[in-house]
Amino acid sequence: MPRPLIARIDSRSLSRNLAVARARAGHRRIWAVAKANAYGHGLERAVRAFADADGLALLEVEEAQRARALGWHKPILLLEGVFDPGELGEAARLRLTCVVHCFEQIEMIERRADPAPLDLYLKLDSGMNRLGFAPEEALALAQRMATAAAPLANHPHVAEVRQQGMILAIEVVKDKQKREPYPWQERRNLRIYRHGLKRGVLIRPITSTVYFMPPYVITPEEIDFMVQVAAEGIDLAVAD
């Protein structure tokens, strides 16, 4: 005879817990973690109870398929990303945000031929030593970008190269000694931006400065290419 145990799940309590978290989180985004069939509470109940969350956090593509079929239209985060290249297409179709926690996943993403956009989160190992990149690896990428961009400081039309973490700015000027910018009407930095698009690199033009803000999943080789394209664009922009 089975043990006479009954589990009563109150969906209203799930919603109240979310409301408490929301009140304490301020304006921060809240992901409702509902992996493993919402920890046994049932994904169907979780979708209804967490309707006010900013997104659902799940483990598997199959769970995401169920959540979409149940009518969840907000973001879905795959906490461990994908483990097979074939899942990337489905992740894009379902508009999933994928965590990237190892270089094997980066390589899968690099090889994908699907042009559909894919949102990514980079996972850093903050001390649990389970999944994620070591913080030193992220710092190494920033250093690689600094090293690659350093020669641009010697360009006759670059006044300064500035960097904060993975954000790098290149100030393009007409006269380097006087730090005199080009007239804004000439839109020189727009030429750099357009050249970058032709080469598959997003370079952001803001007034007299162009910016790099690449994702942390960028590879060292892609950093080198990004800087190369920027140098080509600067040469083209100041040619006349």
pLDDT, tens only, 87-145: 999 999 999 999 988 878 888 887 887 777 888 888 888 777 788 877 777 788 888 99
Q: Report if pTM > 0.85.
A: no
Residue type, 15: S
Looking at the chain, the domain(s) classified CATH 3.20.20.10 span 11-132
Is 101 exposed, middle or buried, given 0-12, 13-18 or 19+ CB atoms closer than 10 A?
A: buried
- Residues 69, 83: Cα–Cα separation, whole Å: 22
- Of 103, 41, 102, 46, which Cα lies nearest the Cα of 76? 46
Looking at the chain, the domain(s) classified CATH 3.90.1150.10 span 136-237
- Residues 165, 173: Cα–Cα separation, whole Å: 24
Within 10 angstroms of residue 47's Cβ, the number of other Cβ atoms is: 22
pLDDT of residue 1: 63
pLDDT, tens only, 179-201: 999 998 999 999 999 999 999 99
Mean pLDDT of 24-28: 90
pLDDT of residue 6: 81
Residue type, 19: A
- What is the residue-averaged pLDDT of the chain? 90
Percentage with pLDDT > 70 across the chain: 100
Superfamily of domain 136-237: Aspartate Aminotransferase, domain 1 (3.90.1150.10)
CATH of domain 11-132: 3.20.20.10
